[in-house]
Structure 1
């Protein structure tokens, strides 16, 4: 019986390996080479201008949720603080000095030893989940490199590589833009996805109370990523 079970598990594992190999062969794209310099920065600035990025820069509070509402965020950009909730936890996440963050479980404050790993998890999740909300506004972040890539349709894409900062430095995103510079989607070369060039849409936008553009959803293959009840405001 055990031998038969092991044989079945071996077959299933083989099928998974072969299936992944097929997906990798069909969909994996190499990271494209681009041309950096003033023209790439000009294209990046065109993208920000199309989004009226000053409205975003002047927005103090951002609220959204992620993973079907499992993680909820209220970000005070002026103070560099995030009120973050999931399961029984609430974290007052200090983006400037993470070690000063405060963690609660069932509204009871945890001590330093209990909090350390949760603060690290909170920062990792915030870095990922906020990127899906505000990535277009981070293309001039410290440690970024911008390059122009010639696309197959003859248009130009903007390749942004994050050489430092965040949770996974080295990740790259190729922005596909409308002629106006407004983003439509990006392709990703990131550590957490083994297949390069997977595309996610950035074409479902809403205008916030502050006037900033923020995405409501993204389409990643058959998967819809909802940003929940998004808000951007100043009061």
Structure 2
């Protein structure tokens, strides 16, 4: 419990520091959501990204497990549509078909309902930071091609689903169409256009290609204990 409280304290300091940085710099760096064009070119770029990251392997992968930022661990049984969410103090099984069927396996917190809701939010957030590029051709996503300085980027907007529908991300890619970063226009951050870098890509056991390190304002977000299986 002492370690858990320490994690909460450190996390709180980091979050408050980040908020302060955002507030101070927001007036100078906030950008408007760019205009883009829907249509075949946007879909073609999206498909090129998926080909580069071996989307076929993602489709065939049955289990994906990882630890996010050293705090939450996940074992997502994608083929059965449930996930085990765990930390030092709890373990929860989320039924992704019906959240009402989710259950707390073990916990030091007796507020099970709140723990399940928190686990849902954490999984939605942490899984997105792991495998966001694989979602760009989903039915709930609107795609637009953005051209700037001779480079093509892919602007996606989630029009439904998830925890925060309406969020937009502008993906930048290299010459092989592998993502290098995205800019965010999201409801939880009052500043538009904050950039997150995606790097340290690895090919996993099932053939999926995933980024194991992201960074925002130079603050690293690391993915560890990453495993996938067919």
Give the TM-score normalised by structure 1: 0.85
Aligned match of 2:94: 93
Q: How does 1:161-172 map to 2 (within 5 A)?
A: 161-172=157-168
1:132 offset after TM fit, Å?
0.6
Partner-residue secondary structure (3-state), 2:224 = coil
CA distance in 2, matches of 1:18, 1:217: 23
Among 17, 22, 25, the residue aligned to 1:23 = 25
Cα distance change, pair 94–20 in 1 and its aligned pair in 2 (3 A): closer
CA distance in 1, matches of 2:227, 2:95: 20
Post-superposition Cα deviations, 1:104-136, rounded to whole Å, max 9, x if no partner, equal 33499x7xxx42222111111100000011100
Q: Please tell me whether residue 173 in structure 1 is matched to residue 174 in structure 2.
A: no
Give yes or no for contact 1:30–1:197 (8 Å, CA) kept in 2.
yes
Cα distance change, pair 107–118 in 1 and its aligned pair in 2 (3 A): closer
CA distance in 1, matches of 2:93, 2:218: 34
Cα distance change, pair 233–20 in 1 and its aligned pair in 2 (3 A): closer
The runs of 4+ residues in structure 1 deviating greater than 4 Å are 17-22
CA distance in 1, matches of 2:54, 2:75: 22
Give the TM-score normalised by structure 2: 0.86
Aligned match of 1:82: 83
CA distance in 2, matches of 1:22, 1:120: 32
Aligned match of 2:57: 55
CA RMSD of aligned residues (A): 2.0
1:164 offset after TM fit, Å?
0.7
Partner-residue secondary structure (3-state), 2:161 = coil
Give yes or no for contact 2:62–2:78 (8 Å, CA) kept in 1.
yes
CA distance in 2, matches of 1:79, 1:44: 27
Partner-residue secondary structure (3-state), 1:228 = strand
Aligned match of 2:16: none
Q: What are structure 2's unaligned runs of at least 5 residues?
A: 1-18
1:224 offset after TM fit, Å?
0.2
Q: How does 1:1-235 map to 2 (within 5 A)?
A: 22-67=24-69, 69-106=70-107, 114-151=111-148, 153-234=149-230
Please identify the structure whose Cα radius of gyration is greater. 1
